[in-house]
């Protein structure tokens, strides 16, 4: 894959949060939330990021969106490095990149009507002179977007509390579509929804992608959801990507011990299969990301660890045809 | 699992009075729990699964809630008719509960030892020293390393998975006959969820405790439960052994639910079959099948009245007009 086709190219992204010190004193340190992440997303592709809480998947999305100023690294959208743009230029560039959030209750302003929520991005960009649209055009687009995401346009004067969780998520999606972005960053957009509604929203994401040629960075902790929606999948653990490959390959032949454990732990809704399955039960919890690592990030919980895993950090290396894994089982330390 | 029924719920109705109208959160639920059985209750938010279980131990806040009818027979005694003192002897002792969020069910100001010993001293009449020993033993059973040290710590010093282990240790400390687990792993990561579910399965099997497991995850029930109740809008629409229901789901809702979950073991299809429409509004629900607006097999009669359950043998019962006539 050459760089020219990539819509989004993330290189060496790090996001560290300092803590402690200050007025309250206490131990000074850093949370290594994202600790060196590289990936790219082709136009029209869906890259899924999967991992457990605290692995840095949401922080990655927020750092890509420049909601945080990354500690290090580059975020190239259409070849433009967002980390180096002035605030005014960044706003212009961000038009091509929108976000959908997890909690459809917290991410919609309860005092705004559905129509105003969807119109807000357009109004902001219009006020700044970036978007040329008349009031009427905006109104028409609100109605078009609402119908497109499966909401009646007659609901545009209703407030968020009058909608169910699934409908609210549709409002959030319509808002994300308002500026005709190329890339949508979806941060756990179906995790708060009931199973029957989750399927509706996942299908909506797929339909919109086909219709508008959208590119998704799709974050979820549910492996089955990620498999359904993604063309390629990255598995994160403790702030790094441990494995990345085409979705079909990753699920058929997971290479990293963590990916293997994750897949074996996820329940399958079929009692017969569940009885036959062998689980890899990991011991312990995810360690706190509050220190720099000198060895493999998964060392503490890995059941296949070797001596060399403690002393050097495995890098992502290609094993075959686009399947990359960061594990010394497959490649030796440099 | 034996044939000895220890808990029998008959036609339970729990209603909430709200400004918008009467919410029939649980509307005629009947179920049986046998010794050593793991019974799953699945349903989506608002289906009444948690209210069912709060009603069983008579913990519905009133007002606004009210148990409008039904019986909960535990070893032949109706828990709903018991006095405050008697029911307190059952709760936490014979029937105990663990909840979804261990952080909100543990008191953040008290040491784990204080919280665990309170229950043990109260229900088992042990002295302080013996109670602490018992608590340490339970923590050890629940897989907490160095329990003699950890027991004197506060809840915030434990991780989410460890806190849930503490809750399980507390829940099982008095050797209850029934453990009600309300979404015990929904707040946990998959790798931790697998640990916790294995622990619950192993410990309750060893202690002979029957479990009611409330969850929205079909994957979790498939792996753990002997029997299953599927709830929709305050009613059980289908029940049976887990094997029967997954092998041949009968109710259109159950069928839709099972189909709409993306599965790890099946290569991604182009589109997920989904259930159309929105979850029901349970306020002032008319006497009809609440699923009919979303049902692909809906008939005229579904809008007029609620079907009796049809029997498919070995406890597999379905409330749907598709079957009601032929098997009434």
pLDDT single digits (tens) A237-257 = 999 999 999 999 999 999 999
Q: Is A248 on the interface with B (CB under 8 A)?
A: yes
Measure the N-to-C terminal CA separation of chain A; round to a whole number of Å. Answer: 24
> How far apart (Å, rounded) are the C-alpha atoms in residues B322 and B234?
20
pLDDT for residue B327: 47
Q: Is B238 helix (H, G, I), strand (E, B) or coil?
A: strand
The closest CB to that of A224, out of B246, B264, B279, belongs to: B264
- Of A126, A62, A150, the C-alpha closest to A100 is A62
pLDDT for residue A1: 44
- Contacts A–B by Cβ distance under 8 A: 136
Quote the tokens at residue A217: 């960075």
- Angle, CA of A17, A20 and A22, to the nearest 5°: 110
- Of A171, A122, A119, the C-alpha closest to A147 is A171
Lowest mean pLDDT segment, chosen from A104-118, A211-225, A303-317, B157-171: B157-171
**3-state secondary structure labels for all residues of chain A:** CCHHHEEEEEEEEEEEEEECCCCCCCCCEEEEEEEEEEEEEECCCEEEEECCCCCCHHHHHHHHCCCCCCCEEEEEECCEEHHHCCHHHHHHHHCCEEEECCCCCCCCCCCCCHHHHHHHHHHHHHHCCCCCCCHHHHHHHHHHHHHHCCCCHHHCCCCHHHCCHHHHHHHHHHHHHCCCCCEEEEECCCCCCCHHHHHHHHHHHHHHHHHHCCEEEEEECCHHHHHHHCCEEEEEECCEEEEEEEHHHHHHCCCCHHHHHHHHHCCCCCHHHHHHCCCCCCCCCCCCCCCCCCCCCCHHHCCCCCHHHHHCCCCCEEEECCEEECCCCCCCCC
Cα separations in angstroms, A240 against A29, A236, A263, A296, B229: 19, 5, 18, 10, 41
Q: Is A259 on the interface with B (CB under 8 A)?
A: no
Q: Is B166 on the interface with A (CB under 8 A)?
A: no
Cα nearest neighbour of A196 on chain B = B275
Under 8 Å between Cβ of A53 and A24: no
Q: Is B250 helix (H, G, I), strand (E, B) or coil?
A: coil
Q: Is B220 on the interface with A (CB under 8 A)?
A: yes
Question: Are the Cβ atoms of B272 and A202 closer than 8 angstroms?
Answer: yes
Checking if the pLDDT of B267 tops 90, the result is no
Residues 70-109 of A with CB under 8 A from B: none
% of chain B with per-residue pLDDT over 70: 98
Cα separations in angstroms, A88 against A85, A91, A122, A129: 8, 5, 16, 12
> How far apart (Å, rounded) are the C-alpha atoms in residues A106 and B321?
40
Checking if the pLDDT of B72 tops 70, the result is yes
Question: Are the Cβ atoms of B272 and A228 closer than 8 angstroms?
Answer: yes
Question: Are the Cβ atoms of A270 and B265 closer than 8 angstroms?
Answer: yes
Q: Is B145 on the interface with A (CB under 8 A)?
A: no
Cα nearest neighbour of A225 on chain B = B262
pLDDT single digits (tens) B12-63 = 999 999 888 888 999 999 999 999 999 999 998 889 998 999 999 988 888 8
pLDDT for residue A46: 97
Under 8 Å between Cβ of B319 and B309: yes
Question: Are the Cβ atoms of B44 and A196 closer than 8 angstroms?
Answer: yes
Lowest mean pLDDT segment, chosen from A26-40, A214-228, A279-293: A279-293
Residues 226-245 of B with CB under 8 A from A: 242-243
Q: Is A274 on the interface with B (CB under 8 A)?
A: yes
CB neighbour list of residue B19: distance below 8 Å, 6 or more residues apart: none
pLDDT for residue B248: 95
Question: Are the Cβ atoms of A194 and B279 closer than 8 angstroms?
Answer: yes
Long-range contacts of A275-281 (CB under 8 A, 24+ apart): A279/B194, A279/B198, A281/B191, A281/B194, A281/B195, A281/B198
Question: Are the Cβ atoms of A195 and B218 closer than 8 angstroms?
Answer: yes
pLDDT for residue A227: 94
pLDDT for residue B61: 85
**Confidence tier at A334 by pLDDT (50, 70, 90):** low
pLDDT single digits (tens) B226-266 = 999 999 999 999 999 999 999 999 999 999 999 999 988 88
pLDDT single digits (tens) B155-190 = 988 888 888 889 999 989 888 999 999 988 887 888
> How far apart (Å, rounded) are the C-alpha atoms in residues A317 and A242?
10
> Distance, in angstroms, between B281 CA and closest chain A CA?
10
Measure the N-to-C terminal CA separation of chain B; round to a whole number of Å. Answer: 29
Cα nearest neighbour of B222 on chain A = A271
**Confidence tier at B1 by pLDDT (50, 70, 90):** low
> Distance, in angstroms, between B89 CA and closest chain A CA?
36
| Chain B residue numbers touching A190 (CB-CB < 8 A) | none
Higher-scoring residue by pLDDT: A115, B101: A115
pLDDT single digits (tens) A74-119 = 999 999 999 999 999 999 999 999 999 988 888 999 999 999 999 9
**Confidence tier at B325 by pLDDT (50, 70, 90):** low
pLDDT single digits (tens) B16-28 = 998 888 889 999 9
Domains and CATH numbers, chain B: 5-94+176-323 (3.40.50.300), 104-175 (no CATH)
Residues 179-218 of A with CB under 8 A from B: 194-200, 202-203, 206
**Confidence tier at A155 by pLDDT (50, 70, 90):** very high
Question: Are the Cβ atoms of B222 and A279 closer than 8 angstroms?
Answer: no
Checking if the pLDDT of A208 tops 90, the result is yes
Q: Dihedrals φ, ψ of A191, to 5°?
A: -70, -30
Question: Are the Cβ atoms of B279 and A164 closer than 8 angstroms?
Answer: yes
Checking if the pLDDT of B284 tops 80, the result is no
Give the mean model confidence (pLDDT) for residues A209-223.
95
pLDDT for residue A90: 93
The closest CB to that of B218, out of A52, A248, A269, belongs to: A269
């Amino acid at each position: 894959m050459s760089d020219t086709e990539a819509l989004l190219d993330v290189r060496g992204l790090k996001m560290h949060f300092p803590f402690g010190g200050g007025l309250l004193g206490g131990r000074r340190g850093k949370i290594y939330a994202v600790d060196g992440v590289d990936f790219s997303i082709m136009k029209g592709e869906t890259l899924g990021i999967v991992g457990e809480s605290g692995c840095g998947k949401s922080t990655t999305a927020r750092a890509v969106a420049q909601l945080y100023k990354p500690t290090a690294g580059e975020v190239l959208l259409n070849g433009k490095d967002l980390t180096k743009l002035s605030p005014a230029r960044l706003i212009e560039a961000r038009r091509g990149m929108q976000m959908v959030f997890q909690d459809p209750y917290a991410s919609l302003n309860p005092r705004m009507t559905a129509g105003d929520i969807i119109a807000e991005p357009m109004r902001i960009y219009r006020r700044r002179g970036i978007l040329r649209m008349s009031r009427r055009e905006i109104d028409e687009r609100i109605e078009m977007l609402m119908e497109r995401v499966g909401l009646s346009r007659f609901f545009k004067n209703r407030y968020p509390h009058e909608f169910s969780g699934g409908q609210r998520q549709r409002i959030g999606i319509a808002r994300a579509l308002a500026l005709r972005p190329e890339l949508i960053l979806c941060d756990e957009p179906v995790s708060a929804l009931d199973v029957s509604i989750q399927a509706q929203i996942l299908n909506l994401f797929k339909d919109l992608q086909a219709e508008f040629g959208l590119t998704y960075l799709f974050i979820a902790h549910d492996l089955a959801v990620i498999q359904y929606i993604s063309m390629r999948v990255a598995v994160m653990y403790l702030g790094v990507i441990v494995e990345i490959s085409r979705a079909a390959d990753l699920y058929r032949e997971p290479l990293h011990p963590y990916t293997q454990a994750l897949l074996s732990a996820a329940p399958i809704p079929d009692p017969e299969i569940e009885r036959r399955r062998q689980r890899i039960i990991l011991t312990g919890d995810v360690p706190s990301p509050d220190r720099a690592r000198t060895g493999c990030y998964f060392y503490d919980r890995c059941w296949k660890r070797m001596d060399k895993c403690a002393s050097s950090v495995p890098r992502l290396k290609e094993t075959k045809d686009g399947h990359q894994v960061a594990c010394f089982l497959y490649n030796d330390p440099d | 699992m034996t044939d000895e029924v220890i808990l029998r719920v008959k036609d339970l109705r729990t209603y909430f009075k709200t400004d918008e109208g009467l919410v029939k959160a649980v509307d005629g639920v009947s179920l049986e729990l046998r010794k050593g059985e793991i019974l799953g209750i699945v349903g989506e938010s608002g289906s009444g699964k948690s209210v069912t279980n709060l009603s069983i131990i008579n913990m519905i806040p009133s007002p606004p809630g009210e148990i409008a009818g039904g019986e909960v027979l535990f070893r032949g005694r109706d828990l709903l008719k018991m006095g405050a003192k008697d029911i307190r002897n059952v709760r936490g002792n014979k029937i105990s509960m663990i909840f979804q969020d261990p952080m909100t069910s543990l008191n953040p100001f008290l040491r784990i030892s204080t919280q665990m010993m309170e229950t043990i001293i109260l229900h088992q009449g042990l002295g302080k020293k013996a109670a602490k020993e018992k608590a340490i033993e339970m923590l050890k059973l629940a897989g907490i390393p160095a329990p003699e040290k950890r027991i004197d710590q506060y809840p915030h010093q434990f991780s989410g998975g460890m806190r849930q282990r503490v809750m399980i240790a507390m829940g099982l400390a008095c050797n209850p006959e029934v453990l009600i687990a309300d979404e015990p792993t929904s707040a946990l990561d998959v790798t931790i969820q697998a640990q916790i579910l294995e622990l619950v399965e192993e410990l309750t099997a060893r202690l002979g405790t029957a479990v009611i497991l409330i969850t929205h995850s079909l994957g979790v029930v498939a792996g753990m439960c002997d029997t299953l109740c599927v709830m929709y809008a305050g009613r059980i629409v289908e029940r049976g052994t887990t094997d029967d229901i997954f092998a041949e789901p009968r109710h259109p809702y159950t069928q839709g639910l099972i189909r709409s979950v993306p599965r790890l073991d099946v290569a991604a299809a182009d589109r997920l079959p989904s259930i159309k429409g929105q979850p029901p509004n349970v306020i002032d629900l008319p006497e009809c099948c609440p699923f009919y607006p979303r049902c692909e097999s809906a008939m005229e009669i579904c809008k007029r009245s609620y079907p009796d359950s049809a029997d498919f043998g070995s406890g597999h019962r379905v409330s749907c007009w598709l079957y009601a006539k032929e098997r009434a």
